[in-house]
Structure 1
Amino acid sequence: MSALSAFAPQTLGSALEPGLGREPTQALRGEARNPIGLDGLEFIEYATPRPQALGQVLEMMGFCLVARHRSREVLLYRQGDLNVVVNAHGAEARAGDAPALSAMALRVRDARAAWHFVLARGAWEVPPRAEVMELHLPAIHGPGGSRIHFVDRYRDFSIYDVDFVPVPGADPHPPATAGLHFFGVVQYIGPGRSHDWTEYYGELFGAEPLPDERRFGIMPKGKLLRVPALETGGQFVLQLIEPEPDLGLLDNGERLQRIGLGVPDVMAAVQALRARGVEFIETGVVQPGQRGALTKTYLGSVVFELVHSARPEGPGR
C-alpha cells in the first residue's frame, strides 16, 4: 500500500481555515532511521497578503529582514539558524486575510534523490514553479495544500544565493534571541487520522512516534513524531493534533498550523521577547514556565510556542 493510499482527497487539498479547540506539545530526541538523508528544517514559509504586518510580528520575535527575492514579492527573515520566508506573491498569498503556513523545506543530503524516493512511495508531485534563471526546489504536496520542499544547498552555498538579494546594511546572519531554534511543526489533522499521518511520515521520512506518556511543553496533547537527522542539531518533531469533539469544537481542516521554537531557558526567552513587545497567554494552565510558553495570536493566525530544548550544536550549524 502506498503512503497516500489511506488519505482522502481533502487531506492534501483542503482550504486553510482558522483552527478551533486544538493545542500542541512537542519533543526532540535521539537517532532514528533516515531513508532520505534528512538533516533538519531549512525554512518555514508563510503566505500572506500583508507582508509588512507579518514582518512586524517576526521582528518582535527577533527575526531580521535579510534579503528580498529578485523577481517576486517574497522576503527572507532570519535569526540564528532560523529562516522564515514571507510570500506575498500570487494567488496563494491572496487566499485569505490571515497569514497561513504554506510550506516547509527539509534539508537533505541529495534533494533530487530524496524527491524521487518519496514519489516512488506515493507522494504527490508539486509542478515546478521556478521561472527563468530561478532555482527549482523539488516539492511534494503537504497537508491543506501546503508544500514540502527538499533542499541540499544549505552550507557554504545556499539556495538564497541564487534567488535573493541581500538587504543593504543588514547583518546576513543575525544572532538568535535567547537561543531560539526550530523545534518542530504543529499540524492539524482530521478526526481519527493520527494513524494515517504517522504511517505517511514514517514511510516517507522515517519519522518515529514517541511514547504517548512522553510529554513536553505546557499543553500535552497530540501525537509526537520524531524526525531523524544526519547531525545531532538537525532533529525536529511533527505534532499531529486531532479536533476535540468533546468540547463541541469540531474543525476537520488539515493543515500546517504553527512552528515550535526550542529554547534552552524558557523564562529567559519569555523575558527577552516581552522586552521586544511579544505578549504571552497567561490563562488557566497555559502559563509561561520552564517547560514552555505560548504567545498570543497575531494577525488572526500567527502564534509561536516555546518549548524547553537544550539542542546540541552539530557541525556546520
Structure 2
Amino acid sequence: MRRTIATVSLSGTLPEKLEAIAAARFDGIELFENDFINFKGTARDLRVMAADLGLTIDLYQPFRDFEGMPEAQFRRSLERAERKFDLIQELDAPVMLCCSNTSPLVIDDPALAAAQLHELAGRAAMRNLRVGFEALAWGRVTKLYGQAWEIVRRADHPHLGLILDSFHTLSLNDDPSGIADIPGEKIFYLQMADAPLLSMDVLQWARHHRSFPGQGQFDMTNFLEQVPLAGYTGPLSLEIFNDVFRETPNRRTAVDAMRSLLYLESQVRQRLQEPAQSNARFTDRRASVLQRVELYSPPPVPDIMGLSYIEFAADESSAEAFDVLLRQFGFRRAGTHRSKAVVLYRQGDINLIVNAQPDSFARRRFEAHGLSVCALAMRTADPASAVGRATAMHSQRYDGPLGPHEQRVPAIVSPGGMLISFVSSALGPNGLYEADFVLEDEPGRSAAGAGLKRIDHVALGLAVDQLDTWILFVRAVLGLEPGESLELADPFGLVRSRGVANADRSVRLVLNVSLSQRTRTARTVSAGGGVAVHHIALSTDDIFDAVARLTASGARFVPISGNYYDDLITRVDLDDDLLARLRSAGVLFDRSAAGDYFHIYTECLDGGLFFEVTQRVNAYDAYGAINAPARMAAQAQGA
C-alpha cells in the first residue's frame, strides 16, 4: 500500500516536515490547511519541493461546514470550494477532504446533504478532482461512517466518495465490520490513528491524545482488515493530533510513524493469512486481498526466551565501587574479557557485565552519566532474524569491534541509544562467556551467593516524549505486549508506569515517565539523556533468607516507615507472624487474586541506579505498584 502521513502529525515548519517525512521513506502527504496557509511560498513552490523529495501531495484537508446548510450559506460555500479547487489544482492534489458539518446551522436532512455534496462533486469533476466525505466523531448530525456512507450513496456521484478514519469510528465504539460491505472504489482515502482509552470529551481526545498505531489501545488491526476486504487499494495514511508529538523532533516522529504503519500492515497480513474466525463469508475475499494489496511482510517477531545479560558502562572508579556492591550482593567475579576492560559477574542465572573499556560504545555514549546500563541482551533462537526484524522496522543495527576468536552478538540501537543485543540460545548458558571471557573459578562463592536466581524485570525511566516511541518499539520490534497504564505518587509529582512483557514473562520491562522534573524518575532520565535504567529487580525463592544474607554481607536497603505496616494489615489479611517478618526485614508486600509479591529496594548508587529483590508466589503478574509511593517517599527522605 502507498504510505502517507498528514503534515499536522509532525513538529516544525512545513519544509522541515517534508524533509522528515521523505527521510522516513513515505510516499506522500496529506496537506493540512494551516500548514499551507503559514507556508512562505506558493502552491507551485510546495508542489516542486515535495516532488524533489519524492513525495506526492495526495490529499488537501479539511474543507469544513459544507453539507446540509441553508441555501444562502450553501451558495457561499460553493464559492469557497471553487477557491480551494484552484489551490488544489496548483498543488496537483487529487482529493479534497470534506468533513461532516459541526455548524449550529446544519439541517438534519440526509437527502439535502446528499444533494449538496452531489453538486460539490460535480464542480470537482469539472477539474478532474475528487471529494472525500468524512464523518467526524463530533459532527452535529453525521458522526458515524455508516451515516456518511449513506449520504455518499444517495449522492451517487463518481467524484464523491468516503474517507474513513479509525479514530472517529473507534472512539465512539462503532463497529467497523460494516466497512467490508462498502464498495472499495467508493472509499477514496484511509486515515489511521490509535489512542489510549480515556474518559473525556471526544473533541479534546481527538485534538490532543491520538497516537500512532501500536501506541494506543484501539483494535487497529481489526479496523484496517475491513478496508482491503471492501476492495480498497488506495493510500494508507496517518492523521495524528498529539501535544507531545508537536514538541518532539520530527525526524524521530516520522520514523515512529513509518514503523507504526509497517507493524500494522504486518499484523493485518498475518490476520488475513489465518482462517476466518468471525465471518466465514469473507473467506474467499481474505485470500484475494493478499493478491491485490501489498502488505508489509517483515521477518517474524523474535521468540525471546529471557535476558542473557545486562551490561553496565562504568569508568574505573565506578567499576571498582560497583564491584564491592556486587560482591555484597553475592555475585562472584566470574571472568575477565579476553581483549577489553570488561568483567563478568554471575549469580544463579543472572549475568551482569561491567564495561570500563575507554574507547567502547558504552563509555562514549554513557560515560557522562556515571554507572549506567548500556545494553540489554536477550536470548533467542535466531539472532540474525531478530536483527532483520528490527532493521525492517526501522531500527538501527549496531556492529561493535570484534577481537580474535570472540563471539559476534548481533545488536540494535533502541530509542534513546541503549543497545539491545541478541544472544543465540544454541550457545547454552556458558557458550558466549567461554568464547569472550577468561572464566575464573571461585570455589564456594558460586554455591553461597545470596539466593538470587534470575532477573525479574528491568525498570526504565523515559523522557515524556519517549514513552509512545518505546511502546511501539517493544511491540513492533521485540514482540512484547503492554500491560495496564498506572499513575504512581512520587512526593514531587506523578509517575506514569506501564509494564511490557513477552508471553511467558521471561522478559519484563517497566516503562516510567514523569511530567514533573522533580521526581526521582525525571532526574534519572535527565542524567541518562532521555532514557535510563533506574532499577533492576532480581528474584529469589526465599526473600527473607536472601535479605538476611545480603544484610549480613553489608548490603543496605531503603528503610520503610513503620506506618506502612500498620496500614498494610488494614488492607490485606495477613497473619501476625508474616506481618512481623515483613516489618522486621523491611520487605514490602502486595496480593492479587493470582498470588503474592514480596519485594525490597536497595539504597541508590551514584547516578540513581538501585536494585530490587523480589519473590513472586503463584501467578502474581504485576510489579507491586501499590507500594511504589512508600519506596519513593523513603528515597526522597534520604533514608
Normalized against structure 2, the TM-score is what? 0.40
1:81-100 matched pairs, under 5 angstroms? 81-91=349-359, 92-93=362-363, 95-96=367-368, 98-100=370-372
Across the aligned residues of Structure 1 and Structure 2, the Cα RMSD in angstroms comes to: 3.4
Alignment of 1:23-42 (within 5 A): 35-42=301-308
Q: 1:228 is matched with which residue? A: 503
Q: Supply the AA of the counterpart residue of 1:104.
A: L
Task: Check the 8 A contact 1:263/1:310 in 2, yes or no.
Answer: no
What SS does structure 2 have at the residue aligned with 1:305? strand
- Which one-letter code corresponds to 1:67 in the other structure? G
Matched, 1:163 2:436: yes
Q: Which residue of 2 aligns with 1:266?
A: 543
CA-to-partner distance for each residue in 1:104-161, whole Å, 9 max, x for gaps? 1000011111111111111111133213332211111124422110000441651111
Task: Give me the whole-angstrom Cα distance separating, in 2, the residues matched to 1:212 and 1:111.
Answer: 30
Deviation of the 1:214 alpha carbon = 11
| Map of 1:296 onto structure 2 | 603
Which structure is higher in RCO with an 8 Å CA cutoff and minimum separation 6?
1
| Partners of 1:185 and 1:237 within 8 A in 2 | yes
| 1:132 alignment partner, SS class | coil
Task: Please list every run of 5 or more consecutive structure 1 residues that lacks an aligned counterpart in the other structure.
Answer: 12-33, 313-317
Where 2:511 maps in the other structure, the secondary structure is strand
User: Quick check: 1:295–1:305 contact (8 Å CA) kept in 2?
Assistant: yes
Q: CA deviation at 1:64?
A: 0.3
**Structure 1 residue 111 and structure 2 residue 383: aligned?**
yes
Contact 2:415 2:470 in 1 (8 A): no
- Counterpart residue identity of residue 134, structure 1: E
Q: Tell me: CA distance 1:103–1:60, structure 2 relative to 1, closer, same or farther (3 Å).
A: same
Distance 1:255 1:246, change over 3 A: closer
Residue 159 of structure 1 aligns to a residue in which SS?
Answer: helix
Q: Secondary structure at the match of 2:368?
A: coil
Q: Residues 66 and 172 of structure 1 are in contact (CA less than 8 Å); yes or no, is this contact kept in structure 2?
A: no
Bigger share in helix: 2
Does residue 1:238 correspond to 2:544, yes or no? no
The separation in 2 between residues aligned to 1:45 and 1:255, in whole angstroms, is 13
Match of 1:43 in 2: 309
Distance 1:221 1:90 in 2: 36
Question: Does 1:211 find its partner at 2:478?
Answer: no
Count of aligned pairs: 283
Give the letter for the 1:239 counterpart: V
> SS where residue 187 of structure 1 aligns?
strand
Q: Distance in 1 between matches of 2:481 and 2:429?
A: 31
Equivalent position of 1:278 in the other structure: 555
Distance in 2, matches of 1:248 and 1:63, equals: 31
- Cα distance change of structure 1 residues 175 and 168 upon mapping to structure 2, 3 Å threshold: closer
Distance 1:279 1:10, change over 3 A: farther
TM-aligned CA deviation for residue 70 of structure 1: 0.8
Q: Is 1:101 aligned with 2:373?
A: yes
Change (3 A) 1:310 1:111: farther
Alpha-carbon distance in 1 for matches of 2:443, 2:495? 39
The CA distance in 2 between the partners of 1:189 and 1:10, in whole Å, is 18
SS in 2 for 1:210: strand
- 1:148 aligns to 2:423 (yes or no): no
Residue of structure 2 equivalent to 1:61: 329
Q: 2:532 and 2:438 mapped to 1: Cα distance?
A: 30
Structure 1 residues 311 and 131, CA, compared in 2 at 3 Å: closer, same or farther?
farther
